[in-house]
């Protein structure tokens, strides 16, 4: 018995091919749209990060500036041209040096002392070089991708220039605080909470009223180191060294800072407490564990100071905790030390640590041994 062995007709094959083609075309469109959305989103996020980074740099200098002198063209005249019109702001920094920021297209540049520095290109590669985003395939990919990637930087910087400096006119120098405001108290409070950006102008204003205050000069020197204002910090530390009592904490910190500054070994931010060359065989390690505490545990700076009248006197070691709050002082001489998180102002911890020879002491920091629960050096308050 012969079975029916007929195949598909030509019409059936054509219909099946047409249906399959439509399905493949739909899948391809969905895939392309997904890819385009991913690339556009990634470019927008990267550009917004660049804009935030640029604005942080600009606003940080404006907060400590003596005054804004001019705001350039393109202010208050409508939308920023798509071709990239120029916007600029010129001000005098804390040291009296003219500084100018210029926004040309998507490039923000800083000009000071004849030196031009690119602050935030439209896109930044990992190695710091400018990199244009890769558009999705297709005719509309490049134009659709370019606009979201460029606008946030232009608009963010332009709005910052308008908000911070005013529009089309010279901005007045910062006015002094009212007479009934205790600027010195405000400066101390900002210093104690580690708000260096706010503390710097307040301390300078307070020094205008109390130019002979050792405390204010010392606080300002420490503040300037955290703001990377090395020249200003050097001037303040020189004043402290010339006017502080010999052997006091202020005088010793200033002396060490200036000695290290002359050697040019350490960065200004860490130079306020010089890290002596470690040559011992002992150590101290632990972890800062206080999630909702008064300080940020990640990258917390800790100071291990030798105690006066002991063999470790005059020694200081500085370490930063890692992102998880872990810290370690290794290869240090055995002896008695003070462990703290500040060399000036009220710290969170102030502990006496005895480190035996050839051993690494384990000590975790938290609320259980903070200043409110344990203070091994109460005389430091006086």
C-alpha–C-alpha distance, residues 234 and 237, integer Å: 5
Q: What is the pLDDT of residue 83?
A: 44
pLDDT at residue number 17: 95
Contact 332, 311 (CB under 8 A): no
Gap between the Cα atoms of 60 and 94, Å rounded: 11
Q: Where does the pLDDT of residue 337 fall: very low under 50, low under 70, confident under 90, or very high at 90 and above?
A: very high
More reliable by pLDDT, 136 or 9: 9
In a shared domain, residues 232 and 339:
no
pLDDT at 22 over 90: yes
**Would you call 303 exposed, middle or buried from its count of C-beta atoms within 10 A (0-12, 13-18, 19+)?**
buried
Residue 167 scores a pLDDT above 50:
no
β-bridge partners, 377: none
Most confident segment among 15-19, 131-135, 297-301: 15-19
Question: How far is the C-alpha of 166 from the C-alpha of 146, rounded, in Å?
Answer: 30
Residue 334 per-residue DSSP state: S
Give me the pLDDT at residue 381, please: 63
Beta-bridge mates of residue 68: 91
The more confidently predicted of residues 235 and 85 is 235
Same domain, yes or no: 24 and 160 = yes
Tens of pLDDT, residues 298-317: 878 888 999 988 888 888 88
Query: Do 188 and 108 share a structural domain?
Result: no
pLDDT of residue 274: 43
Q: Do 195 and 312 sit in the same domain of this protein?
A: no
Residue 122: is its pLDDT beyond 80?
Answer: no
pLDDT for res 256: 85
**3-state DSSP assignment of residue 191:** helix
User: What torsion, rounded to 10 degrees, do the Cα atoms 27, 33, 36, 40 define?
Assistant: -150
End residue of a domain, out of 208, 242, 269: 269
> For residue 19, is it within any domain?
yes
More confident residue, 284 or 122: 284
3-state secondary structure of 27: helix
Phi, psi of 103 (to 5 degrees): -105, 110
Higher pLDDT, 7 or 119: 7
For 349, left (φ over 0), alpha (ψ -120 to 50), or beta?
Answer: beta
User: Which pair of structure tokens corresponds to residue 311?
Assistant: 């063999």
CA dist., res. 10 & res. 115, Å (int): 76
Q: Which residue has the higher pLDDT, 271 or 360?
A: 360
pLDDT confidence band for 174 (50 / 70 / 90): very low
Q: With 70 as the cut, is the pLDDT of residue 326 above it?
A: yes
Whether residue 170 is contained in a domain is answered as no
Task: Please tell me whether residues 139 and 229 are part of one structural domain.
Answer: no
Mean pLDDT in the chain? 75
Nearest to 123 by CA among 139, 96, 140, 146: 146
Same domain flag for 291 and 265: no
- The range of the structural domain enclosing residue 147 comes to 11-165
Residue 70 binned pLDDT confidence (cut-offs 50, 70, 90) = low
Q: Cα–Cα distances in Å, from 67 out to 165, 174, 292, 294, 349?
A: 9, 6, 38, 33, 39
CATH code, 251 = 1.25.40
Q: What is the pLDDT of residue 118?
A: 76
Residue 355 lies in a domain: yes
Assess whether 21 and 85 both reside in one domain. yes
Examine the pLDDT at 266 and tell me if it is beyond 50: no
Decide if pLDDT at 355 tops 80: yes
Residue 277 lies in a domain: no
Residue 270 DSSP symbol: G
- Rounded Cα gap, residues 289 and 18, in angstroms: 65
Domain boundary among 269, 304, 336: 269
For residues 15 and 91, membership in a common domain is answered with: yes
Q: Which of 165, 197, 216 is the last residue of a domain?
A: 165
User: Where does the pLDDT of residue 346 fall: very low under 50, low under 70, confident under 90, or very high at 90 and above?
Assistant: confident
What is the tally of structural domains in the chain?
A: 3
pLDDT band at 180 (very low <50, low <70, confident <90, very high): low
Q: CATH number of the domain that 341 lies in?
A: 2.60.40.1120
58 lies in some domain: yes
pLDDT bucket at 95, cuts 50 / 70 / 90: low
pLDDT band, very low/low/confident/very high, at 133 (cuts 50, 70, 90): very low
- Shared domain for 144 and 232, answered yes or no, is no
This prediction has a pTM of: 0.37
User: Based on the domain organization, do 206 and 304 belong to the same domain?
Assistant: no
Distance CA 183, CA 162 (A): 28
Residue 29 maps to a domain: yes
In terms of domains, do 44 and 149 share one?
A: yes
Question: What does each C-alpha distance from 212 to 142, 159, 218, 239, 369 come to in angstroms?
Answer: 62, 41, 11, 10, 36
Provide the 3-class DSSP secondary structure of residue 169.
Answer: coil
- Percent of the chain exceeding pLDDT 70 equals 70
Residue 222 belongs to a domain: yes
In-domain check, residue 6: no
**What secondary structure letter does DSSP report for 363?**
-
Q: How far apart are CA 184 and CA 190, in angstroms?
A: 10
pLDDT of residue 72: 59
Rounded CA gap, 87 and 340, in Å? Answer: 47
Pair 50, 148 in one domain? yes
């Amino acid at each position: 018995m012969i079975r029916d062995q007929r195949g598909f007709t030509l019409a059936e094959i054509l219909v099946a091919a047409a249906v399959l083609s439509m399905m493949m075309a739909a899948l391809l469109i969905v895939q392309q749209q997904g890819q385009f959305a991913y690339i556009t989103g990634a470019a927008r996020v990267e550009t917004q990060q660049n804009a935030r980074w640029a604005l942080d740099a600009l606003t940080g200098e404006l907060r400590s500036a003596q005054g804004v002198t001019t705001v350039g063209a393109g202010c208050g005249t409508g939308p920023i041209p798509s071709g990239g019109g120029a916007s600029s702001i010129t001000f005098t920094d804390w040291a009296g040096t003219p500084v100018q920021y210029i926004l040309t297209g998507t490039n923000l540049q800083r000009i000071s002392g004849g030196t031009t520095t690119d602050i935030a290109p439209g896109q930044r590669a990992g190695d710091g070089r400018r990199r244009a985003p890769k558009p999705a395939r297709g005719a509309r990919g490049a134009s659709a991708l370019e606009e979201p990637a460029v606008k946030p930087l232009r608009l963010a910087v332009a709005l910052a220039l308008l908000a911070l400096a005013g529009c089309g006119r010279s901005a007045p120098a910062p006015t002094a605080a009212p007479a009934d405001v205790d600027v010195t108290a405000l400066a101390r409070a900002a210093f104690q909470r580690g708000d260096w950006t706010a503390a710097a102008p307040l301390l300078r204003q307070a020094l205008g009223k109390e130019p002979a205050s050792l405390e204010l000069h010392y606080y300002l020197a420490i503040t300037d180191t955290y703001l990377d204002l090395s020249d200003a910090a050097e001037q303040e530390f020189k004043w402290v060294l010339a006017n502080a009592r010999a052997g006091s904490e202020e005088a010793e910190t200033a002396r060490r800072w200036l000695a290290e500054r002359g050697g040019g070994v350490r960065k200004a931010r860490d130079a306020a407490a010089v890290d002596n060359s470690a040559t011992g065989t002992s150590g101290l390690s632990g972890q800062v564990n206080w999630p909702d505490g008064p300080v940020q545990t990640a990258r917390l700076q800790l100071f291990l100071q030798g105690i006066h009248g002991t063999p470790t006197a005059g020694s200081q070691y500085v370490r930063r905790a890692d992102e998880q709050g872990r810290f370690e002082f290794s290869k240090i001489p055995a002896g008695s030390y003070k462990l703290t998180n500040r060399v000036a102002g009220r710290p969170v911890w102030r502990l006496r640590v005895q480190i035996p020879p050839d051993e690494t002491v384990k000590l975790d920091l938290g609320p259980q041994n903070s200043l409110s629960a344990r203070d091994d050096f109460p005389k430091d308050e006086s």
